[in-house]
């Protein structure tokens, strides 16, 4: 079994999660432009050309390459009733195999759609895929700023456990920011045949 072979798309009650395609760059650029102020408080600095279709096309190609080689999973979120619109993303990166079988989890959602349970819905589907026999991660780590009560609540609802506070963890919005470190372990993890 190829444990890197994650599903290219996932469906939930209200969302289509997919790993992208070359025609998505304009919709992705639109997502970032309309959410620039909202995401600035939570995301690391971006290069000057980040808010261009060309840069977003490069990001999509990189995400597809990472997906294909098993080093990361990025799903772009679209409403089922409007599949051409990007409303967020969920990404699993820094995938480490060997004795670790762990990765980092990140996510973002359109400011206008907060508080509707959409991110919880997307994260349940993504975590199920990451912990499935297809991808077989043992552990997911997620970090959030203490002031980000929405992230704290969604992670707690998903069963992530607090592991500590990382001081000056990421440079965000003009300063080094502390982050709460949380993790979720896969109770169905199976020992790879190469062990």
**Residues 15-56 pLDDT 10s:** 999 998 889 999 999 999 999 989 988 888 899 899 999 999
**150 found inside a domain:** no
Q: What's the CA gap between 118 and 116, in Å, rounded?
A: 6
CATH number of the domain to which 15 belongs:
3.40.630.30
Instruction: List, in sequence order, the alpha helices (H) in 14-69.
Output: 25-34, 36-40, 53-69
**28 found inside a domain:** yes
**Mean predicted lDDT score pLDDT of the chain:** 94
30 and 37 Cβ atoms separated by less than 8 Å: no
**186 found inside a domain:** no
Token duo for residue 98 = 């060997």
42 and 172 Cβ atoms separated by less than 8 Å: yes
180 and 155 Cβ atoms separated by less than 8 Å: no
**165 found inside a domain:** no
Neighbours of 73 (CB within 10 A): 27
With 0.85 as the threshold, say if the pTM is over it: yes
3-state secondary structure of 49: coil
> Could you read off the pLDDT of 168-190 as tens digits, one per residue?
999 999 999 999 999 999 999 99
> Could you read off the pLDDT of 67-80 as tens digits, one per residue?
999 999 999 999 99
**75 found inside a domain:** yes
Q: What's the CA gap between 96 and 182, in Å, rounded?
A: 17
Q: What's the CA gap between 166 and 122, in Å, rounded?
A: 26
**13 found inside a domain:** yes
Residue 105 sits in which domain range? 9-137
pLDDT band, very low/low/confident/very high, at 165 (cuts 50, 70, 90): very high
Token duo for residue 13 = 């009650």
Token duo for residue 97 = 């195999």
Q: How many domains does the chain have?
A: 1
Helix axes 149-158, 118-130, angle to 10 degrees: 50
In this model, does residue 1 exceed pLDDT 70?
A: no
**14 found inside a domain:** yes
% pLDDT > 90, the chain: 86
| Burial annotation 173-186 (CB, 10 A radius, 16+ → b, else e) | eeeebebbbbbbeb
**145 found inside a domain:** no
Token duo for residue 194 = 């190469």
């Amino acid at each position: 079994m190829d444990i890197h072979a994650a599903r290219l798309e996932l469906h939930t009650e209200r969302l289509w999660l997919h790993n992208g395609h070359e025609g998505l760059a304009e919709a992705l650029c639109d997502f970032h432009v309309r959410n620039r102020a909202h995401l600035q408080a939570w995301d690391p600095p971006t290069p000057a050309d980040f808010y261009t279709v060309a840069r977003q096309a490069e990001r999509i190609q990189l995400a597809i390459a990472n997906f294909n080689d098993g080093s990361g999973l990025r799903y772009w979120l679209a409403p089922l009733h409007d599949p051409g619109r990007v409303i967020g993303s969920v990404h699993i990166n820094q995938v480490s195999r060997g004795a670790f079988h762990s990765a980092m989890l990140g996510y973002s959602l359109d400011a206008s759609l907060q508080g509707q349970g959409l991110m919880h819905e997307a994260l349940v589907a993504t975590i199920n895929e990451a912990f499935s026999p297809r991808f077989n991660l043992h552990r997911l780590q997620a970090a959030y700023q203490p002031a980000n009560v929405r992230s704290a609540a969604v992670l707690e609802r998903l069963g992530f456990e607090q592991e500590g506070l990382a001081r000056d963890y990421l440079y965000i919005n003009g300063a080094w920011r502390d982050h709460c470190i949380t993790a979720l372990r896969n109770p169905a993890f199976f020992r790879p045949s190469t062990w």
